[in-house]
Amino acid sequence: MKQRRFLPPLPWLSAFEAVARLGSVTQAAAELNLSQGAVSRQVQKLETQLGIELFQRVKKRLVLTPAGQTYSTDIRHAISTITNATIRAATNPKGGVLELSILPAFGTNWLAPRLPGFLAANPGITLNLSTRVVPFDFAHERFHAAIHFGRTDWPGAEALKLMEEDLVPVIAPGLLPENAKACDLARLPLLHLETRRKAWARWFSAQNIQEAPPSSMVFDQFATMEQAAVAGIGAALLPRYLAQSDLDTGRLVTLANTHPTSLGAYYLVWPPSAATYPPLVAFREWIGKL
């Protein structure tokens, strides 16, 4: 626990913030419904506790010292944060904001279509989504949780497994005959995802084909690689949830009689400090049932 001297009483801070903002003890006293003497004493107590001068009197005016100017900016922000949090708690006791980091393809094609169900069941929760493709330190980010692909290897995080990823080889119609086999794919340019360079090698190994696949174009997003496959540039390995729409419409086709393969699974991860945060608890319970 922090030492008491680093946490001044809120009335002292409120008095200081009002005087700093208004430049007058008289006006601050009127705003706070206190006497001028009470406001002056609270500011003096704060200065004594901090061991610094926050104001200087210049021609009967109170002027912030450099240290007081910096401190007033921080305190004003802190009081605003407390005020907003109190308003949210009073007006929306069952709600809150959930900051969630998502993977682009998973968020767009799997999560987003299902979100109306979560929002309808939790009308008080505001869900903010932002894209991140690699793990980060929760201590240095605003996120309460993240969608992660791979294994339960996010440093310092707790995890809930959502589902395995089923990879499907897809090509544009006409690139290969209908009875093509897995080995025939090796004749085509193989499109790679930057974060999964070994995907094709593992897929060919699952088909008992040990020859190394040829190198070809590399993409940083599934969506771009998918469109390249639709355009006939080469063969792509896509998660089934992402490829299914194009397979259903015939824009892409897959090979029959191939063995499924997966490079990992999707997880919801969160720092222990956020484990009991109500919006995260609600989201975790909801997504865990899908």
Q: 111 lies in which domain range?
A: 96-164+265-287
Q: What is the mean pLDDT of the chain?
A: 90
CATH number of residue 104's parent domain: 3.40.190.10
Given 45, 74, 91, which residue is the final one in a domain? Answer: 91
* pLDDT for position 266: 96
Residue 160 lies in a domain: yes
Give the residue carrying structure tokens 């308003």.
87
Structurally, the chain folds into a number of domains equal to 3
Segment 31-39 shows an average pLDDT of 93
More confidently predicted of 59 and 5: 59
Q: Is the per-residue pLDDT at 238 higher than 90?
A: yes
Q: Is the per-residue pLDDT at 240 higher than 70?
A: yes
Q: Is the per-residue pLDDT at 9 higher than 70?
A: yes
* pLDDT for position 186: 86
Same-domain status, 243 and 174 = yes
Quickly state the pLDDT bin for 1 (edges 50, 70, 90).
very low
Same-domain status, 86 and 74 = yes
Same-domain status, 191 and 234 = yes
Same-domain status, 61 and 131 = no
Segment 256-274 shows an average pLDDT of 90
Given 38, 68, 91, which residue is the final one in a domain? Answer: 91
Same-domain status, 157 and 189 = no
Residue 62 lies in a domain: yes
Distance CA 238, CA 228 (A): 12
Residue 123 lies in a domain: yes
Q: Is the per-residue pLDDT at 116 higher than 90?
A: yes
Quickly state the pLDDT bin for 94 (edges 50, 70, 90).
low
Segment 201-224 shows an average pLDDT of 85
Given 35, 70, 91, which residue is the final one in a domain? Answer: 91
Give the residue carrying structure tokens 């004493």.
41
Distance CA 71, CA 164 (A): 51
Residue 17 lies in a domain: yes
Same-domain status, 137 and 69 = no
Same-domain status, 240 and 206 = yes
- Write down the pTM of the prediction: 0.67
Same-domain status, 21 and 143 = no
Angstrom distances, CA of residue 230 to CA of 174, 193, 226, 227, 239: 11, 16, 6, 5, 15
Residue 260 lies in a domain: no
- Which amino acid makes up residue 15? A
Residue 208 lies in a domain: yes
Three-class HEC string of the chain: CCCHHHCCCHHHHHHHHHHHHHCCHHHHHHHHCCCHHHHHHHHHHHHHHHCCCCEEEECCEEEECHHHHHHHHHHHHHHHHHHHHHHHHHHCCCCEEEEEEECHHHHHHHHHHHHHHHHHHCCCEEEEEEECCCCCCHHHCCCCEEEEEECCCCCCCEEEEEEECCEEEEECCCCCCCCCCHHHHHHCCEEEECCECCHHHHHHHHCCCCCCCCCCCEECCHHHHHHHHHCCCCEEEEEHHHHHHHHHHCCCEECCCCCCECCCEEEEEECHHHCCCHHHHHHHHHHCCC
Q: What percent of the chain stands above pLDDT 90?
A: 64
Q: Is the per-residue pLDDT at 257 higher than 90?
A: no
Residue 259 lies in a domain: no
Same-domain status, 140 and 278 = yes
Distance CA 76, CA 287 (A): 38
Quickly state the pLDDT bin for 5 (edges 50, 70, 90).
low
Residue 136 lies in a domain: yes
Q: What percent of the chain stands above pLDDT 70?
A: 94
More confidently predicted of 238 and 262: 238
* pLDDT for position 38: 93
- Which amino acid makes up residue 129? L
CB 203 within 8 A of CB 170: no
CATH number of residue 69's parent domain: 1.10.10.10
Same-domain status, 174 and 249 = yes
**Tens of pLDDT, residues 177-192:** 888 889 888 889 999 9
- 135-172 per-residue burial string, b: 16 or more CB within 10 A, e: under 16: beebeeeebbbbbbbeeeebeebbbeebeebebbbbbb
**Tens of pLDDT, residues 55-83:** 998 877 889 999 999 999 999 989 888 88
Same-domain status, 235 and 278 = no
For the ranges 196-200, 270-274, 277-281, which has the lowest average pLDDT? 196-200
Same-domain status, 105 and 151 = yes
